[in-house]
Structure 1
């Protein structure tokens, strides 16, 4: 589970070579021109070309013509993530890339405890133990989804931590709807749905120190190019993917960039004290207020009508006898009116 780590800094030789090849738009560029442009030897060029090929870049080499970039891999590499990323904080710090890990939240928590800065990103091509809420697993096949976690260090009380999940749900829903055109909805507290089926999930976990919030790690699991038959049988009805909904494969890098940018913008609003605005956007993207639901929590079932979601992201449920319950988390089922 070795990670490749990249910080925001001046480009190294490999990155400058890749940028040059991209500028040529698939045309051959001679070794002499590369050597002059980058001020490196022919042997150094060959070494960096080999490294790029190992990462999945398809580069054609010709003794007479030089080098031409033929294909960029559909891998969540730091250089591809950064190219064109328009964010202030998130994704601009260190990026930790794993080919496979147990799950990105676990890695992010370890890094956060070690002092990783706010905005750091952990990304994996696949997860062997992907996690959802309440100890559930998240199906995470390699190369077919986005499994990413961002480290944040907001100044919050522990009681305000649920706001982070609602904030992220808004950013995720708006990014996906804008990018794909699909009718995205939010299911309280952390599910992202399309046509009633789960497309993505959010997992927020926190680290504390002296009863204060030290950091939060916010994980995203997004089903991108997973065929229906690849899902485990018990997930084929409740789950979906962009491949299923759109009928064709979807490039992952633009989706990840859209999520990072939307989260960055929403987190900026959040830090400026504009959670009321975020909550109003959340309510537009969900149908839960006014709905009759059942909530399963710690072996007990609560039923009633949702009155409100308060300023801390807590669901206010009115039971048939008029009792108001404050629900911080749980499994929600929509009941017939």
Structure 2
């Protein structure tokens, strides 16, 4: 209940767009007393918001803290469902782990888990993910799609397109997608996506999409072994980026693509994914658990499987592998 009131308060202040909105208007909008409005405003001030209050005019937000808290994300959020319920903690082991717990407890579709840092963040194949404090975006989103189990990997590709679009919205950068789950800028990794599923043999209970984005790190913030492989939006653009704004755009782009996907299937998502793909037409080395295959990337199937043609003309279906562009 308190979370719903906070969401509506942030919506009211956001719609005012920097102008004053009266306490009475806010109270009517969120369905509480003016005293309760005042208490919520004081809570915002305690979180670092500068809220101006003028008698007979009301309240307006002058500035917001550089955090990715519930209030910061919801102030200006344009989605209908994604991100309306936010679980924020400053430091966590892994947002994926918390999202799995919440999904098991019945959290609604669109619930978002986000943290300022992860101390045990993970990527594909249980690799660790460098997740320092106050510099990146470490979040996990709960979806509950009514789709067959074999289509769940398509949501990883959908998420990659949404993040690429969001980066373009917020910056002048041109991201590219490396199959299956990395986003690159100037051939350096800025984003990783991890999709996990809770399901029975015949149906999906939830899909947890984990997104790790390097936003404001500088080169020296990365471990030495990553400095030539990883980058951030700030390094590539030369300016500091609002993490909350990136999150808002990712959620909005995700919601739009997810709606399109549920209505029209994977084909429009596939076409968008291919438009961002760095690997199509390139010679790739795919290292799987049992083999290493070198071949030309022909594209992806409707299931999101990568197709490689080797120098003998044999086409290999790659379901999971480490990919290097040759």
For the residues of structure 2 that align with 1:97 and 1:270, how far apart are their CA atoms?
A: 28
- Label 1:10 to 1:279 Cα distance change in 2 as closer, same or farther (>3 A): closer
Deviations 1:160-186 (A, max 9, x none): 121111111111111111221101100
- Label 1:7 to 1:148 Cα distance change in 2 as closer, same or farther (>3 A): farther
Is 1:227 the counterpart of 2:223? The answer is no
Question: Residue 72 of structure 2 aligns with which residue?
Answer: 80
Mind listing any 5+ residue stretches in structure 1 that lack a counterpart? 26-32
Deviations 1:32-86 (A, max 9, x none): x969986656x994x6565334312246899xxx998653101112233223322
For the residues of structure 2 that align with 1:247 and 1:334, how far apart are their CA atoms?
A: 26
Aligned residue among 145, 161, 164 for 1:170: 161
Q: Secondary structure at the match of 2:317?
A: strand
8 Å CA contact 1:288–1:306 kept in 2: the answer is yes
- Label 1:289 to 1:129 Cα distance change in 2 as closer, same or farther (>3 A): same
For the residues of structure 2 that align with 1:322 and 1:228, how far apart are their CA atoms?
A: 42
Q: Which has the larger radius of gyration?
A: 1
Q: Secondary structure at the match of 2:245?
A: helix
Question: Residue 6 of structure 1 aligns with which residue?
Answer: 3
- 1:334 offset after TM fit, Å? 1.0
Q: TM-score scaled to structure 1, two decimals? A: 0.84
Question: Residue 212 of structure 1 aligns with which residue?
Answer: 203
- 1:283 offset after TM fit, Å? 0.8
8 Å CA contact 1:17–1:34 kept in 2: the answer is no
8 Å CA contact 1:308–1:316 kept in 2: the answer is yes
Question: Residue 98 of structure 2 aligns with which residue?
Answer: 107
Aligned residue among 134, 138, 144 for 1:153: 144
- 1:318 offset after TM fit, Å? 1.9
Mind listing any 5+ residue stretches in structure 2 that lack a counterpart? 28-32
For the residues of structure 2 that align with 1:40 and 1:265, how far apart are their CA atoms?
A: 36
* Alignment map for 1:16-35 (pairs within 5 Å): 23-24=19-20
Q: Secondary structure at the match of 1:272?
A: helix
8 Å CA contact 2:176–2:276 kept in 1: the answer is yes
Question: Residue 29 of structure 1 aligns with which residue?
Answer: none
- Label 1:310 to 1:56 Cα distance change in 2 as closer, same or farther (>3 A): same
- Label 1:155 to 1:34 Cα distance change in 2 as closer, same or farther (>3 A): closer
8 Å CA contact 2:12–2:26 kept in 1: the answer is no
For the residues of structure 2 that align with 1:279 and 1:158, how far apart are their CA atoms?
A: 18
8 Å CA contact 1:7–1:95 kept in 2: the answer is no
* Alignment map for 1:1-337 (pairs within 5 Å): 6-7=3-4, 11=8, 23-24=19-20, 40=34, 45=38, 48=40, 50-58=42-50, 71-92=63-84, 94-335=85-326
For the residues of structure 2 that align with 1:48 and 1:171, how far apart are their CA atoms?
A: 33
Q: TM-score scaled to structure 2, two decimals? A: 0.87
